[in-house]
A and B are shown apart, each in its own frame.
Chain A
Amino acid sequence: MSLYEQLGGDAAVNAAVDIFYRKVLKDARISRFFQGVDMERQAAKQKAFLTMAFGGPNNYSGLDMRRGHAHLVAQGLDDSHFDAVVEHLGATLKELNVPDALIVQVAAIAETTRNDVLGK
Chain B
Amino acid sequence: MAIIELEGKSYPCEENETVLDCLTRHGVQVPSSCRAGVCQSCMMRAEQGEIPKAAQVGLKPTRVTQGYFLACSCKPQDDLRIRFPDAEGLRMGARVVGKELLSHDIVAVRLVPDKPMDYRAGQFIRLFRDGGLSRCYSLASVPVLDEWLELHVRHVPGGQVSGWVHGDLSPGDSVQIADSSGHCFYVPDQQDRAMLLVGTGSGLAPLYGIVRDALHQGHWGPVWLYHGSHGSKGLYRVDELHELERQFANFHYVPCVSHEKPSNGMRQGMVLDVVAGDHESLDGWQAFLCGHPDMVTLGKTQLFLSGVSLSEIYADPFVAS
Q: Which residues of A contact B (CB under 8 A)?
A: 10, 13, 17-18, 21-22, 25-26, 39-48, 51-52, 56-60, 64, 68
Contacts and interface: CB of A to CB of B under 8 A. Distances in A.
A55 to B, nearest CB: 12
Contacts of B40: 41, 44
Contact of A43 (B37, B57, B305, B310): B310
B222 interface: no
User: Which of A17, A41, A47 gathers the greatest number of chain B CB atoms within 10 Å?
Assistant: A47
A58 B36 contact: yes
Among A17, A41, A44, the most chain B Cβ lie within 10 Å of the Cβ of A44
A41 to B, nearest CB: 7
Interface in B42-80: 57-58, 60
B57 A10 contact: yes
Interface secondary structure of A, over-half rule = helix
B160 interface: no
Contacts of A39: 300-301, 304, 310, 313, 315
Contacts, number: 63
A25 B303 CA distance: 12
B309 A22 contact: no
Contact of B305 (A26, A40, A52, A57): A26
14 contacts: A21-B304, A21-B310, A22-B305, A40-B313, A40-B315, A41-B40, A42-B310, A46-B310, A47-B38, A51-B38, A58-B35, A58-B36, A58-B38, A60-B34
A18 B87 CA distance: 31
Interface of B: 33-41, 57-58, 60, 300-301, 304-305, 309-311, 313, 315
Given A10-B57, A10-B58, A43-B311, A59 B39 contact: no
A44 B305 contact: no
A103 to B, nearest CB: 21
Nearest to B310: A43
Nearest to A50: B38
B310 A18 contact: yes
Contacts of B300: 39
A47 B311 CA distance: 11
Contact of A48 (B34, B57, B310): B34
A89 B33 CA distance: 22
A120 to B, nearest CB: 22
Contacts of B35: 58-59
